[in-house]
Structure 1
Amino acid sequence: MDRAAVFDVDGTLVDTNHLHVTSWWEAFRQAGHDVVMHDIHRAVGLSGHDLIAHLLGDGRDTSQDDTINAAHKTLYATYSDRLPALPQAGRLLRTLAGQGWSVILATSASGAELDALRRAIDADDAITATASAEDVGEGKPAPEPVQRALELAGVPADRALFVGDTVWDMEAATRAGVLSVALRCGGIPQRDLEDAGAAAVYQDPADLLDQLDDSPVGLLKTRLDGAHPGTRAPS
Structure 2
Amino acid sequence: MTRAALFDVDGTLVDTNHLHVVSWWEAFRQAGHRVPTHDIHRAVGRPAEDLIAHVLGEDRDKDEDDSLSDAHKTLYGTYFERLTAFASAGELLRTLAGQGRQVVLVTSAEGTELAALRRAIDAEDAITATGSAEDVEQGKPAPEPVEQALESVGAAPSDAVFVGDTVWDMKAATRAGVPCVGLLCGGIPRSDLEEAGAKAVFRDPADLLAHLDDSPFGPDG
Which ranges of 4 or more aligned residues in structure 1 deviate by more than 3 Å? none
SS of 1:60 mapped into structure 2: coil
- Distance in 1 separating the partners of 2:64 and 2:31: 7
Aligned to 1:119: 119
- Distance in 2 separating the partners of 1:76 and 1:85: 16
SS of 1:218 mapped into structure 2: coil
Counterpart AA for 2:139: G
Aligned to 2:195: 195
1:167 Cα shift?
0.2
Residue-by-residue CA offset, 1:23-43 (whole Å, 9 max, x unaligned): 000001111111100010010
- Distance in 1 separating the partners of 2:26 and 2:160: 38
Question: Normalization by structure 1: what TM-score?
Answer: 0.93
Percent identical among aligned pairs is: 70
1:219 Cα shift?
3.3
Q: Counterparts of 1:140-155 in structure 2 under 5 Å? A: 140-155=140-155
Q: C-alpha root-mean-square deviation of aligned residues, in Å?
A: 0.9
1:216 Cα shift?
1.4
Structure 2 residues not aligned, in runs of 5+: none
- Distance in 2 separating the partners of 1:25 and 1:220: 43
- Distance in 1 separating the partners of 2:191 and 2:219: 22
- Distance in 1 separating the partners of 2:99 and 2:167: 28
> Does 2:90 match 1:90?
yes
Counterpart AA for 2:45: G
SS of 2:180 mapped into structure 1: strand
- Distance in 2 separating the partners of 1:32 and 1:149: 38
For the pair shown, the structure with the greater C-alpha radius of gyration is 1
Counterpart AA for 1:180: C
Structure 1 residues not aligned, in runs of 5+: 222-235
1:220 Cα shift?
5.5
Aligned to 2:73: 73
Residue-by-residue CA offset, 1:162-182 (whole Å, 9 max, x unaligned): 000000000000000000000
Aligned length: 221
